[in-house]
Structure 1
Amino acid sequence: MTDETIHLLPEWAPQSALWVGWPRLAEEWSGDLAGPRAEIAAFIKAAAEYVPVRVAAGSDEAANSASAALEGAGEIVRIPTGDIWLRDTGPIVTGKGAQRQAQAFHFNGWGGKYLMPGDTETAGAVAAHEGLPVIQHDLILEGGGIDADGTGRLLTTRQCLLNPNRNPELDQDKIEAAICSALGVSDFIWLGDGLVNDHTDGHVDNIARFIAPGHALCQRPSGDGDPNAETLAEIETSLRRAGLEVSTIPSPGLIRDEDGNPVPASHMNFTITNGAVLVPVYEDHYSLVALAELQALFDGRKVIGLPARHILNGGGSFHCMTREIPA
């Protein structure tokens, strides 16, 4: 792979903008938009110190509430959105030399589980605002289901990408071929399952991320009751068997919802941008340790921990709600 071929840039490459979703569908947040909006506003204000932030508002009410909450911290853009999950509904931007293209894939609501009006129009709208040419693909693919190191390697999970609720007519070889053609990757590293109760069917951005070429990060279990202990151990083993350099940080451990069920809380769902890494934290000892260890790994970037418990109630966190535009 050369810089003159289509390739998927890593998240740590320089960015011209960072898109962030703004909550608008109260029914997706158990009727309470105040909590997630406050946490996302804090995220946007922190990110805006490092990168131009564009806030995707899917309704007039969303645009007005974002304007009031952000006090000029980001550019509010009125485009079609279902809700905040731009990692999956927005475009995946590739490079070819200095050129950038928006790769748009079909989106079916995470296997038909959550269908929100506007989601299928978001990728094209973001690309149009950025002045990027759009290449439309037949494959169903969510950005949170893949992670790249910029040298041709791609992390993903069988639970998501091979799930029959996505592309039932395609086997693994055909899915690999379609992604290689669209994104210019060459080396697939397949993990198994994602976190317990993750409605995305095991998105990789909740369990393993590249932080440098050939260097993957994952979580180690925290506490005796970590609901993902076996899965996390298997992920680390699989990454090492793939020949990668592997670092670990602690998971948040067992975090429950109002009904007492484990929720897919993860320190891996961070967003990397120019000069900073914004990390979801859950006000416990494990988050403090994770932040310290991440700071040692991200030399030259400031690691910023921000509360994300209300965002998690909607099913994701910082990485899920953002989409970077490579410079």
Structure 2
Amino acid sequence: MTSLLKTVANEVRFAKHPRVPAEWEPQECVWIAWPHNKETWPERFEPIPTFFAMWVKLIAESSPVRVLANAELARECGKLLGPQRQIELIDVPTNDCWVRDYGPTFVLGDSGTHLSLVDWQYNAWGGKYPPWDSDAAVCKRLGSEFRLPVAVSELVVEGGALEFDGGGRLLTTPSCLLGKNRNPGVSKELVAQELHRLTGMTEVAWLDGGGLEGDDTDGHIDQLARFIDRENVVVCVSNYPHDKQASGLHQNWLQLKAWAETTSPRPEVHQLPAPATRRVNGQAVPQSYCNFLRLGSERLLVPQFHAPEDDYAAGLLRELSGADVTQVDCSDLVWGLGALHCASRDQPKLNTSEATA
């Protein structure tokens, strides 16, 4: 793998001095992909479209929402969503709903006055769930549709594997970015170089303690640790020592605490306890409050699992963020092995004051 950076025909100018904003910064909109793949929720798909309609309308109370749905799905969307001023349907086909992972990484450049897209390679979490051709084409389709510059990388990367603080720091896991089923033979140094070139990342913390039981992504960071701001990080832990995931999650916490002592500004690392492992039809499902959706600085949607930890998690996130926190029942959604952050993609707002100055 030599030059990892490519460009596509619709590129006008990729971002100079690229930066991926933090999710608490102002947002232009939130992207959702309408669910239709019944194999994602085997024998339990029926309530999912209704859940998405409720969730999209909840987001639209404070943020515009763009929903990926082809013409056939758009009819179903229209019936469930009804007339909504803040919701726009975009005719783009998908294979599955996990737009966090195959959607573009939105990058601001030139003091925030230009928006560009990074199109990572995508292979459905290491080739687990074919076909993924439509999902892999989404970024280029959006670049063409909205006339935005796109940079294409040869690295296989899912959005849920990257957690940015908006100031150049990144949390991730080697099990995803260096896995043989994604980027065989690629070193940490090369990955860091590519992330720096495309996102402006200057510092990376690698967590290799382990992931959640039932997580089919091989350990996405958005289930394990999240920035609340540049001085506070939450990390998923287990208070159930007999859970298989407990030891690995504890190691992640120790690694984050050690990293926090070496970086500036120094973040406080807060434990965010996960529920006990839940099984559906014998299959463990990954339940983590780290999979929250941040809607800028004022609002935060937190998964709810009907577990004893629900209210504590919501309270801690409310206290740390200062945001209005809404709990969203994800007990059906999580059977698809993801939650709110996995099924959404935030687009940052341009700095129009700089652009017109």
* Coarse TM-score class (shorter-chain normalised): over 0.9
Q: Offset at 1:280?
A: 1.3
2:137 corresponds in structure 1 to 121
Asked if 2 retains the 8 angstrom alpha-carbon contact of 1:157 and 1:194, the reply is no
Overall identity of the aligned pairs, in %: 31
Asked if 1 retains the 8 angstrom alpha-carbon contact of 2:306 and 2:331, the reply is no
1:317 corresponds in structure 2 to 339
Q: Offset at 1:245?
A: 1.7
| Structural mapping, 1:231-310, within 5 Å | 231-243=248-260, 244-259=267-282, 261-274=283-296, 275-299=298-322, 301-310=323-332
Deviation readout 1:181-235 (Å, 9 max, x if unpaired):
1111010100012212211110000010111114211123244554421122111
Asked if 1 retains the 8 angstrom alpha-carbon contact of 2:235 and 2:270, the reply is yes
- Rg larger in structure: 2
Asked if 1 retains the 8 angstrom alpha-carbon contact of 2:171 and 2:204, the reply is yes
Deviation readout 1:163-190 (Å, 9 max, x if unpaired):
1111113112111111111111010100
Q: Offset at 1:114?
A: 1.2
- Most deviating of 85-94 and 271-280: 271-280
- 2 CA distance for matches of 1:82 and 1:129? 19
| Partner amino acid, structure 2, of 1:286 | E
| Structural mapping, 1:63-212, within 5 Å | 63-73=74-84, 74-96=87-109, 97=111, 98-116=113-131, 117-192=133-208, 193-212=210-229
- Count of matched residue positions in the alignment of Structure 1 and Structure 2: 322
- 1 CA distance for matches of 2:337 and 2:247? 22
- 1 CA distance for matches of 2:60 and 2:215? 29
- Structure 1: gaps of 5 or more residues: none
1:13 corresponds in structure 2 to 25
Asked if 2 retains the 8 angstrom alpha-carbon contact of 1:159 and 1:194, the reply is no
Pick closer, same or farther for the CA change 1:31–1:64 going to 2, 3 Å: farther
- 1 CA distance for matches of 2:124 and 2:34? 18
- 1 CA distance for matches of 2:331 and 2:255? 29
So what's the TM-score if we normalise by structure 2? 0.86
So what's the TM-score if we normalise by structure 1? 0.93
Asked if 2 retains the 8 angstrom alpha-carbon contact of 1:154 and 1:189, the reply is yes
| Partner amino acid, structure 2, of 1:35 | P
